[in-house]
Amino acid sequence: MGFSATLTPYAIIAWFYLVLITSAIQVFKEKDSIFVLVSLIFYLISFELISRMARTSPFIPYELGKYLLCTGLIFGLLRYRTFGIMGWIMLISLIPGFFIDVSGLVQQSDIIFNILGPINVALAIAFFNRKRLTSLQLGKILRLMIYPILGVLAYTFVKTPDFDEV
């Protein structure tokens, strides 16, 4: 994937949407296990770096990992009805951060950009509360997170200029 991204970003874009669509269909079919949803979330959010390096925006937007994680966790909370109380306490405690601005210089886009990370942490705590993953499932998820990193390594290896050219 990394080698193809050095030639054209459209291979990355096509692969991203192919994985997103086919995996989303699988997530909607699978009603009992959260493993497919968790795998999809972790693969796609780790895919963000290679898409940035290949300059795939606006087809794969910057900060997509934050938005996909938030969407996937909200979907998982609603679908699998998991409600860890500590995550909800954290989420409620973030509410004043939306409204308090002493400087008067903070814009709405700044608030959304900066608060989405803690919101994702709170949603993850609420979603993964008392979830059990086997060591086999954890190994598969970690491999899915490593695959895009290998693409980044290949892309970096091919695109790095020689010291003489710099």
CA distances from 160 to 6, 8, 10, 138, 147 (A): 11, 16, 20, 33, 20
The pLDDT of residue 44: 82
The pLDDT of residue 163: 65
The pLDDT of residue 145: 82
User: pLDDT digits over 97-112, tens only?
Assistant: 777 777 777 777 777 7
The pLDDT of residue 122: 92
Taking the C-alpha atoms of residue 53 and residue 56, their distance in angstroms, rounded to an integer, is 8
List the chain residues with pLDDT less than 70. 1-3, 5, 161-166
Sign of CA dihedral 92, 97, 98, 99: positive
Instruction: Provide the token pair at 105.
Output: 């210089």
The pLDDT of residue 65: 83
